[in-house]
Structure formats: structure tokens, C-alpha cells
Amino acid sequence: MFRIVIVEDEPRILRNLKEKINVLSPDFKVVGAYDNGEDALFEMHWTLPHALITDIRMPIMDGIRLITEARIRFPDLQCAILSGHDDFSYLREAIKLGITDYLLKPADDSEISRLLAQMKSKVLHNKSLLEDEVLLQISGMADGAGEMITEWNELANELFYFGHYVLVYLWSPNTVIASTWRSIVEELLTEGETIHAVPAASGNEFTLLLGVHSWSQIRQNDWIMSVNDRLKSMKEKVTAIIAPSFKGLQPIPALLSQTKKFALAESSFNSRCILLQDNSSLSTSSTPEQLSAIGLRLTQFVTKQQKTLFLKELEHLISLPQAAAFKRRDWETMLMFLSHTIHNQLLKETAPPGYEARRAMEMELAEEVWRSKQLEELKASLQEIWGAYFFRTEQAHTTYKNWAQEAKELITSRFHDNISLTSIADHLSLNPTYLNRVFKRTFQISIPDYLNKVRMEEACQFIRQHPFVLIKEIAEHVGFQDPYYFSKVFKQFTGFSPTEFKNMS
């Protein structure tokens, strides 16, 4: 199924054109209907259309400019104009842009059917566009995620014809993976073998699909050794997974999903390259008895308010010889176990923190396990988080809550401005990470999430009151400098794009 976007400033014509396309061609799905070119352009990074039909004369951004801008971002986009103006100057501009056709309103069903057939034919003859679409299907970021639609499956078999494929998946919880990895991995290929980058949802992952003539134990060992050597030379901590498929392209979507889960489970604080078929997994060497003993000692130091001894015990835990081999999941499990041990013991001996405070602390522990780049960074975070056990005086609690409340009031009054966690922390003369922890323990939400929540609620209200306002103006009203980023956050918060929300309003 091909994705198409239509842009027309007359609501009746826009609605009728959308209905006609749905009826006349089952090959096309209308993924966006807009009344101006600016909104359509803003959301193309979501809709990822194969084709565009637009009017010429529209407010804000006309059709000629829309096609020009869209082609810069999507060079293979098939474009057509549906206009009420039989003007040679417009036609000349349209010809320069290489559009599929120029139809005059009102276009009848046969003209629209012919136009859609032409667009489909041109898309099918564009090899790179089809390859990108198959890779999008593989990534799970298109309709039919994880399952190849029949038509695309047939195209995939024509375009991706190797008997052996290998996925190279790189992931880091806190590092943007450099695109230079493509050239690094490409050096491992022989003549005639292919390499494709699979679209990713974030910069923290990078996937390459390699078509290879043959695969062997020797070759896989060479690849793992080569990737490991490159990882050792880099500062970033990255988990690399090599996952071969010996049944062509069909198993790749499921294999990619399995690879992502495997990378998450096997990631540690050290870079390493692993073969997916390698079931050897590192796990904590500490037994529950050992962890219980450590937890009891930590609890005793808390109840006696012996912070120095508590920190020494924590230092001992981090410095265990086997700790360097722990996977992040192991660290998370271990810290949750220790947190529960401390809390349960405090229930018997003294008044423990409330449930919400304990839950907030455990969420911070888990976040730091996946955020920290080095063990030393994790250790510093643990000292700060668990250090809260030693500041339980009434005065400390009052100061603690005052900081959080002041930050909340600052967000409420200044969310229209270009503020951030860092600027709020600077205003209060506090460390940003520490302030965020204080805020999260008090309100069970981080400062960035709360700031976005306030902004998105105001954006929704603003759209309801001004349904015809531009996306750029909405973004600026709630403190976003980048309309594209605003649109992304808005959809994450509401489940709808700004344009969809405007139409509903």
C-alpha cells in the first residue's frame, strides 16, 4: 500500500478528494489531509508519503513551494497538482519540478484514477524508494509492523535476493551511534555483497542489513574480532550484536526484534560484540545470601546514621572483581533487591520513607543504571540517591520540598519561555541532576516531563481556542523554538499530531 498526502484549502474539495482516493485505488492510503502546505510539510517526517497531490493557491505556503521543499527532503516523492487555475506560468513551474500531472478542478473519477495509476507506476520503477520502503517495513516503523505486506513481500524478494543476510545491531542507552559505523562494517564485505541501513526510532540504535554470499564459523569469528577491536578504540560504551539469517529476508523482521531484546539484556558498562546465537550470558556472581548480608549492613548504617560506613560498604559493592562483568540488567536487579532489603529492615527498626518516596527512589536507581556511562558515574549516583537516608530531619525535609515547590512554580509561570532543567537549576543555584531527583521524589515526575506536560496542556487549550492557528505559532506560544520537535512531543503526549488535533477541535 502506498502512502499519499493531499493538500487543499477548500474543506469540501479536500474531503471529496480523500473519499475518492479511498474508493478508486486500494493501492493508496491517505495518511494526511491538510488545508495548507506548511502543516503538510511539518508532518512529512511522520507520514513518510510516496505521493503528494496539492492545490497551488493556498494560504501560508502555496503548492509550488510545498513541492519544492518536500522534494529537498524526499527526492523520490511523486507529486501532482490539482488546481482551479489554467495558468501557463503555474504549469511551467510545475513542469520544472517534474510533477506527475497537472489536473484542473473539478477532476472526474477517470482522471484521478489515471493519475494514481501513473504515480504507482513511477513508484514501482524507483528502486531506491522501494528498497527504503522494504527496510521501513523490516524496522517495524510502517504499517504492518513486523509482517511483510504481500505486495511488499514480492518486491522484497526481487530487491533482496541473497540467501544469507546478517544484521549488525549497535545500541547504547546514552550515546548517539555514529553513522560512520556503516563504513566500518562495509570493510568486512567482499565484492558483490550489499549493505543497507535500517531506519531506527532513535539515535541510540543503529542497524545494518548485510547481504552476503556465504557465512562460516571463521568469518563470524573474524567479524566479531574486528568489531570488538573497533569498539575498544572508542570512548563510547556500545553493545554490538551480530545476527545471521540463513533463510533469506523473510525471518529478518522477527530476527531484528529478537536482536533488540538481546542487546538490552546483554548490555553492560563495557563495549562488547556478541553473536546472537551465543547463549553464554554473564550474570551476577553474588548469591542472594551475599546480597542479603550487604543489604543488612547497609540498613544498620542507615538506622545508626553512619554515613561514612554506608559509603564504604557501597564502595566495596561497586569494587567487587566480578562487578565489571555485570550486565546492566544485573545491576538493576541487584539494586532493587538491596532497596527492598533496606526498606523491609527499616520497617522493623525505624520509620521508613513512605511508599511514594521509596518508589521514586527505586525509579531513580533504575534510570541511573541505564543512563550512566561508567561504573564510577553509577557509584556517584548511588551515593547521592541513597544519601537521602541520612537527611531525614524535619528541617531537611522542609528545604527539600521548598526547592521542588519553587521549581514547580517557576515552570508554571515561565513555561512560555525557553526554559530547561539546567536554567531552572541555575536559577535555584543547584546541581541539575540533584534538583531533578528532589523534584521527582516530591512530585513523582521529572522536571523535563512536568515541563512538557504543562506545555502540552496549554497547547491543547490554545488549539481549542484558536483552531486555525499555525503549528509554528502554537510551538512558540508554549516555549518551543523548533516546530518539528514540538510536533513530535505533542503526538507523544496526546496520541495525535497537531493537525489531527486541530481538525478534531
Average pLDDT of span 392-399: 51
Give the span between the Cα atoms of 56 and 7, in whole angstroms.
9
pLDDT of 156 higher than 90: no
From the list 311, 302, 288, 391, the residue with the least C-alpha distance to 348 is: 302
Pinpoint the alpha helices (H) of 328-446. Answer: 328-349, 355-371, 375-386, 394-414, 421-428, 432-443
Percent with pLDDT over 90 in the chain: 24
- ∠ Cα 127 128 129 (to 5°): 90
pLDDT band at 283 (very low <50, low <70, confident <90, very high): very low
Cα–Cα distance, 42 to 485 (Å, whole number) = 10
- The span from the CA of 150 to the CA of 154, in Å, is 6
Predicted pLDDT of residue 411: 94
Residue 306: count other Cβ atoms within 10 Å of its Cβ: 14
3-class SS shares of the chain: helix, strand, coil, % to 5: 60, 10, 30
Strands 194-198, 78-83: pairing is unpaired
Grade residue 159 by pLDDT with cuts at 50, 70 and 90.
confident
How many degrees, rounded to 5, is the angle at CA 433 between CA 429 and CA 435?
A: 50
| Contact in structure between 497 and 475 (CB atoms under 8 Å) | no
* Mean pLDDT along residues 271-286: 62
- Taking each helix axis from N to C end, the angle separating 355-371 and 432-443, rounded to the nearest 10 degrees, works out to 140
For residue 297, the one-letter residue type is R
Q: Which pLDDT belongs to residue 219?
A: 92
Q: What's the rounded mean pLDDT across residues 217-246? A: 91
Q: E strands of 157-316, at which residues?
A: 164-171, 194-198, 205-212, 239-245, 272-275
- Arithmetic mean of pLDDT, 397-411: 79
Q: Can you list the alpha helix ranges (DSSP code H) found in 97-208? A: 109-124, 127-139, 150-159, 181-186
Distance from C-alpha of 333 to C-alpha of 286, rounded to nearest angstrom? 12
Could you give the CA distance from residue 348 to residue 250 in angstroms, rounded to a whole number?
57
What's the CA dihedral at 401, 404, 407, 413 to 10 degrees?
-70
Contacts 24+ apart (CB under 8 A), 415-423: 415/451, 415/454, 415/455, 415/458, 415/478, 415/479, 416/477, 416/478, 416/479, 417/479, 418/479, 418/481, 419/451, 419/479, 420/448, 420/451, 421/447, 421/448, 421/451
Mean pLDDT value across residues 404-411: 91
Compute the distance between CA of residue 241 and CA of residue 263 in angstroms, rounded to an integer.
7
Q: How far is CA 129 from CA 76, 202, 256, 408, in A?
A: 7, 21, 21, 48
Whether 129 contacts 76, CB under 8 Å: yes
Cα angle for residues 75, 78, 84 (degrees, 5° grid): 125
Which cell numbers hold the place of 405?
515547590
Burial class (CB in 10 A: 0-12, 13-18, 19+), 103: middle
pTM of the model: 0.66
**Nearest-angstrom CA–CA distance, 392 and 182:** 52
Give the gyration radius of the chain's Cα atoms.
28
- Which of 379, 386, 333, 334 lies closest to 358, judged by CA? 386
Residues 6 or more apart whose Cβ sits within 8 Å of residue 457: none
| Distance between CA atoms of residues 148 and 319, nearest Å | 48
Average pLDDT, the chain: 83
The band of 39, judged by pLDDT with boundaries at 50, 70 and 90, is: confident
Res. 399 pLDDT band, cuts 50 70 90: low
Nearest to 485 by CA among 472, 467, 495, 494: 472
Q: What is the pLDDT of residues 75-88, one digit of tens each?
A: 888 998 888 766 66
Alpha carbon 42 to its chain's center: 18
pLDDT in tens, 351-376: 555 666 677 778 888 888 988 888 88
